[in-house]
Amino acid sequence: MKANTQIFESKEAIARYLAENIKEQLQQKDELYIALSGGSTPKAIFKVWAQEYAKDIDWASIKFFWGDERCVPPDDIESNFGMTKEYLFDHVGTKGINIFRVKGELSEEKALEDYITCIEENVPFENNLPQFDIMLLGMGDDGHTASIFPHQINLWDEDTVCTLAKHPESGQTRVSLTGKTINNSQRIFFLVTGSNKAEKVNEIINKKEQYNSYPASLVSTNQLTWLLDKEAASELL
């Protein structure tokens, strides 16, 4: 395997690994800029952070953003922000002024414009681009990441910080970071769990079949670490 991979027994073990990484970075920097992911794996990770690291991490020194968000209000059941608030923010000592969400209650174009401005005004720049310290990404069993899906893989290369993308089945519009913003991050972690992801993990990491048709294959390997549970890594072993 050429990619940097870490294989864990459970989602909870991944959560602890990430928490220790965050603690280590906060010893070196006064503040961290983190882009979060949505989905079932981050939900499990946030639960562990809230239960085990509420006082061990200086949450007020972290500025939170999202790699993608559905164009829904913050209290909608599908909101990534809403999920994070319920499972993490409500239980740790973060500050509201350090949470920069996509305003999905606005019109799609206004939500996009607002989030681009939000990132450009609040995230440090490096290489003439916003640079997050930590980028957390998920991967769908279709090989998508953030909200860049295979049928719109061209959005990855758009010359803007964020873009509007559509879910291939529901047609739901989402605001998503583009490839150049994702790949400019200091550290990128793919959080991938479950046997339904094993085939795509194997294809992308080992560059098999049509691996380059999956947006997840376009994430820069220089800064990337795959954090997999045993099920997701089952075809690598």
What are the residues whose beta carbons fall under 8 Å from the beta carbon of 222, sequence distance 6 or more?
none
- What's the mean pLDDT in 214-218? 98
Is the pTM higher than 0.75? The answer reads yes
With 70 as the cut, is the pLDDT of residue 2 above it?
no
Fold of the domain spanning 5-229: Rossmann fold (3.40.50)
What are the residues whose beta carbons fall under 8 Å from the beta carbon of 107, sequence distance 6 or more?
none
d(CA 213, CA 134): 25
> Domain-by-domain residue ranges, the chain?
5-229
Q: How sure is the predictor about 72, in pLDDT bands with cuts at 50, 70 and 90?
A: very high
pLDDT tens-digit readout, 6-44? 999 999 999 999 999 999 999 999 999 999 999 999 999
Residue pair 102/143 in contact (Cβ under 8 Å)? The answer is no
